[in-house]
């Protein structure tokens, strides 16, 4: 994977850094795995704005991703690596031996023509999905389930990965991308390898219009608002501000908002770094 720095022939391209898309093999999605997306523009069923700074953007169609990898023991060939406008990671189209097709999150190093398989009998190779009980300790994993059968919920974005640290009884110890160390049941599934498109963090949009294409509207800084609109608003000139906090008064830097009585606290061995 690589990135390209464009020549400054326009102001918007002067600082722009784009993805090289070396891993992408086709720009035609599989029609049977597409679904429509209805855009809300941040409005609820009454038409009132409930989420600010959303709206517009290019029309998209959703790619139906198989996060559960339930077709166990059936080998599948990687037909293509594709771009997905709904996520930062690339996706891979699988052709199963029984004729079914499915999209999965593509792992770094996954190649067209490679065979992947899921289930207990799989080997710990890139792209294979298997229970944590069968994965060797120290392995880099991604697309990790939190509860058995739930489907992958952790380490799914571009370049993300977790690491299997230890196993004790029915629990495995996982070091997550945030730095948190957590206990997860060994019956949960995970995919071998880190998520593709690790260069995503190096991209530079170059202009404000690119955010509009993604459906993001301009964001107003709290310090320039009035006191009625935000706790950090008000004041003459640049004297406004105060302690960083959210719109409803919750401190924003270093203040822990996780409930001390949350049931899943007992599964967290070490909290994420600040």
Domain spans, the chain: 3-201, 225-266
Q: Residue 274: which pLDDT band, with cuts at 50, 70 and 90?
A: low
Q: What is the mean pLDDT of residues 77-102?
A: 96
What is the model's pLDDT at position 239?
85
3-201, CATH topology level: OB fold (Dihydrolipoamide Acetyltransferase, E2P) (2.40.50)
Q: What is the mean pLDDT of residues 192-202?
A: 96
Separation in Å, CA 26 to CA 21, 134, 182, 203: 10, 34, 38, 21
Q: What's this model's pTM, rounded to 2 decimal places? A: 0.92
Gap between the Cα atoms of 141 and 127, Å rounded: 10
CB atoms within 10 A of CB 37: 12
Q: Are 233 and 222 in contact (CB under 8 A)?
A: yes
Gap between the Cα atoms of 93 and 116, Å rounded: 11
Listed residue (196, 191, 190) closest to 110, CA to CA: 196
């Amino acid at each position: 994977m690589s990135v390209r720095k464009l020549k400054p022939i326009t102001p918007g391209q002067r600082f722009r850094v784009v993805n090289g898309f070396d891993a992408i093999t086709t720009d035609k999605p599989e029609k049977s795995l597409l679904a429509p997306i209805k855009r809300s523009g941040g409005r609820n069923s009454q038409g009132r704005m409930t989420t600010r700074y959303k709206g517009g953007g290019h029309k998209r169609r959703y790619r139906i991703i198989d996060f559960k990898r339930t077709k166990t023991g059936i080998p599948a060939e990687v037909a293509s690596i594709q771009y997905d406008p709904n996520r930062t990671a690339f996706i891979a189209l699988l052709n199963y031996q029984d004729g079914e097709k499915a999209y999965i999150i593509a792992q770094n190093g996954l190649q067209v023509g490679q065979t992947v398989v899921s289930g207990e009998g799989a080997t710990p190779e890139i792209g294979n999905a298997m229970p944590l009980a069968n994965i060797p300790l120290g392995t880099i994993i991604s697309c990790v389930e939190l509860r058995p059968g739930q489907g992958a919920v952790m380490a799914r974005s571009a370049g993300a990965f977790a690491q299997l640290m230890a196993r004790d009884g029915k629990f495995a110890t996982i070091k997550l991308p945030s730095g948190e160390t957590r206990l997860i049941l060994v019956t949960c599934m995970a995919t071998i390898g880190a998520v593709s498109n690790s260069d995503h963090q190096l991209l530079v949009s170059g202009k404000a219009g690119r955010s509009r294409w993604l459906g993001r509207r301009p964001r107003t800084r709290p310090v320039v608002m009035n006191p009625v609109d935000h706790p950090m608003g008000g004041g003459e000139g640049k004297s406004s501000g105060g302690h960083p906090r959210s719109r409803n008064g919750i401190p924003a830097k270093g203040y822990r908002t996780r409930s001390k009585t949350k049931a899943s606290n007992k599964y967290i061995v070490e909290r994420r770094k600040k």
